[in-house]
Amino acid sequence: MFSQPTTEAKTGTIVITDMTHNAVKLALDFCAGKYLDAESAVDLVGVYTFADKYDITAVRQRLEKYFDTALTLENFLAVTMYAYQYSKDALFDKCAEYLARDSDVALLPGFQELDKDLIKAILAKASTFKKAYVAEAHVHEDFTCNGCRKTPIIGHRFTCLICSNLHLCQTCEKNGIHAQHALVRTVNYNTAVPDIHEFIHDWVCDP
């Protein structure tokens, strides 16, 4: 990378702005023969991005073998990010099919941290395999979970029947957040939801 008449070649310094510090450190350590201890999908794909950008073939090939292994809950996020970022269509289809078979994948903590466009793409692709499998993975645009503050809410959305404009994701509802009030569940835009104020009036006033 210092063989061309670039700023890096003149100064002997490389300024990297398109990868996290941790990803670069992991990549350099991996190149030096250390164990690749990436704790997140972002870091793992970041190491591959570093190897790809600076044409480090050995590292790139080793990670490509990892990304091409059988999908599991442990590697799903990293493989999906890699397939989407590098336009590996066949691999991305495998990820979508895996999600279609097991919609609980969308409940992984890191899933909601993925790029919003990636989330939309993987859910749309998964729905082409079997819509029933991704019913729980619907994206509720413009809704924020009052429990964990994640937005948009992915999966079932729960709305409080008492409080005004209070919504929970299915993870927070499952963990008992706001258990003091009754909640109504919305699966997707096809879910018929009664007028909440009218529902409460009927519920309270019905003899």
- Is the entire prediction scored with pTM above 0.75? no
Secondary structure in 3-state letters for 1-48: CCCCCCHHHHHCCCCCCCCCHHHHHHHHHHHCCCCCCCCCHHHHHHHH
Q: Which residues of the chain have pLDDT under 50?
A: 1-2, 134
pLDDT at 197: 54
State the pLDDT at residue 201: 53
CB atoms within 10 A of CB 194: 11
**The predicted structure's pLDDT at residue 202:** 56
Give the Cα separation of 167 and 129 in Å (integer).
29
191, amino acid identity: T
Confidence (pLDDT) at 76: 93
116 contacts 146 by C-beta, under 8 angstroms: no
CA quadruple 11, 22, 144, 115: dihedral sign: positive
pLDDT at 61: 92
How confident is the model over 27-45, as pLDDT tens digits?
888 888 888 887 788 888 9
